[in-house]
């Protein structure tokens, strides 16, 4: 969209985040108001050399109020910015926004104002610092964000019963106050970082976690042995092979019957000819 100069995308029920538009160097007018846009206002918009007019009103944008060049007429009313005036967000707000972005901005991720401790459902705070994050059973997908390691007062991190993939970030081992990490019943894999002895680590229900899979199939074999299953790898015949064998049998059976029928017809015809 290098030569895009004007975009009126308002009132279209668009959702998701605003994409990187740094290549739109000719864009001077961008209307995004009255949609369902979320996340931070990307910094790429601030440096557009031709931009003079932008409207972001009536969305669910988060983070700090955007700061555009003085030549730009910008409006941003009715969003979910952390402050009502220009200025930075609380560091914990920015950390949680980074974590929620990695999870695809789930519905419960809306932070009101500049204080994450007002949540009271998924977060627990002590003296203004997050000490507990509990995301159990929220149908979350994606990787565990390394940004959790920036919550230096975190004591309990509960991520059980979701669909997290990838590995456990090694950076979590640096959390000085951590006492509980529950990642059970997910789809995690890779090696388990070494945590302090004071940390209670719960990992059950992740078939490939802790495995060093070097060849295809070894992971399944090791997981079966570890979970009490048979140590020998079962040979499973793919369905397409079974189907191919069935088709081969059918064709050969029909071909054999056809030949037998021809022999019978020839014998019958030869017998009739001989009788004449």
- Predicted local distance difference test score (pLDDT) of residue 245: 44
- Predicted local distance difference test score (pLDDT) of residue 254: 54
pLDDT category of residue 118 using cuts at 50, 70 and 90: confident
- Are 127 and 89 within 8 A, CB to CB? no
- Predicted local distance difference test score (pLDDT) of residue 212: 64
Q: What are the tens digits of pLDDT across the range 76-87? A: 999 999 999 999
- Predicted local distance difference test score (pLDDT) of residue 195: 96
pLDDT category of residue 3 using cuts at 50, 70 and 90: confident
Q: How is domain 1-88 classified at the architecture level of CATH?
A: Alpha-Beta Horseshoe (3.80)
Question: DSSP for the chain?
Answer: -TT--EEE--SS--EEPPPP-TT-TT--EEE--SSEEEEEPPGGGTT-TT--EEE--SSEEESSPP---TT-EEE--SS--S-SSSSPPPHHHHHHHHHHHHTT--GGGPPPTT-GGG--SSEEEETTEEEEEE-TTS--EEEPPGGGGG-TT--EEE--SSEEEE---GGGGG-TT--EEE--SSEEEEPPP---TT-EEE-TT-TEET----STTHHHHHHHHHTTS-SSPP----HHHHHHHHHHHHHHHHHHHHHHHHHHHHHHHHHHHHH-
Residue % of the chain over a pLDDT of 70 = 75
Q: Is the pLDDT of residue 15 over 60?
A: yes
Q: Is the pLDDT of residue 193 over 50?
A: yes
**Domain ranges, ordered by start, for the chain:** 1-88, 91-210
Domains 1-88 and 91-210 in one fold = yes
Q: Is the pLDDT of residue 129 over 60?
A: yes
- Predicted local distance difference test score (pLDDT) of residue 232: 40
Task: Provide mean pLDDT across the span 167-194.
Answer: 97
Q: Is the pLDDT of residue 119 over 80?
A: no
Q: Are strands 129-134 and 180-182 parallel, antiparallel or unpaired?
A: unpaired
- Predicted local distance difference test score (pLDDT) of residue 36: 95
Q: What are the tens digits of pLDDT across the range 218-264? A: 444 444 444 444 434 333 444 433 343 444 445 555 555 555 554 44
Q: What is the mean pLDDT of the chain?
A: 82
pLDDT category of residue 93 using cuts at 50, 70 and 90: very high
Highest CATH level, class, for 91-210 = alpha beta
- Predicted local distance difference test score (pLDDT) of residue 139: 93
Q: Is the pLDDT of residue 217 over 70?
A: no
- Predicted local distance difference test score (pLDDT) of residue 246: 44
- Predicted local distance difference test score (pLDDT) of residue 252: 54
């Amino acid at each position: 969209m290098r030569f895009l100069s004007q975009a009126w995308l308002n009132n279209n029920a668009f959702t998701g985040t605003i994409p990187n538009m740094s290549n739109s160097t000719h864009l001077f007018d961008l209307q995004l108001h009255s949609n369902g846009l979320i996340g931070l206002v990307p910094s790429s918009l601030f440096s557009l050399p031709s931009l003079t007019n932008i409207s972001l009103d009536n969305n669910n944008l988060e983070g700090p109020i955007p700061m555009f060049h003085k030549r730009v007429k910008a409006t941003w009313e009715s969003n979910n910015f952390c402050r009502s005036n220009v200025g930075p967000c609380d560091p914990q707000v920015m950390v949680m926004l980074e974590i929620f972005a990695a999870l695809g901005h789930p519905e419960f991720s809306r932070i009101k104002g500049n204080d994450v401790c007002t949540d009271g459902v998924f977060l627990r705070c002590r003296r203004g610092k997050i000490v507990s994050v509990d995301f159990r059973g929220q149908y979350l997908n994606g990787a565990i964000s390394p940004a959790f390691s920036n919550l230096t007062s975190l004591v309990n991190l509960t991520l059980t019963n979701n669909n997290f993939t990838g590995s456990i970030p090694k950076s979590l081992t640096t959390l000085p106050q951590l006492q509980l990490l529950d990642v059970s019943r997910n789809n995690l894999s890779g090696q388990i970082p070494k945590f302090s002895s004071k940390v209670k680590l719960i990992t059950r229900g992740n078939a490939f976690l802790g495995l060093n899979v070097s060849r295809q199939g070894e992971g399944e074999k090791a997981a079966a042995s570890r979970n009490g299953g048979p140590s020998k790898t079962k040979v499973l015949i793919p369905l397409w092979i079974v189907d191919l064998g069935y088709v081969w049998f059918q064709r050969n059976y029909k071909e054999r019957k056809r030949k037998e029928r021809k022999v019978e017809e020839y014998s019958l015809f030869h017998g009739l000819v001989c009788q004449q």
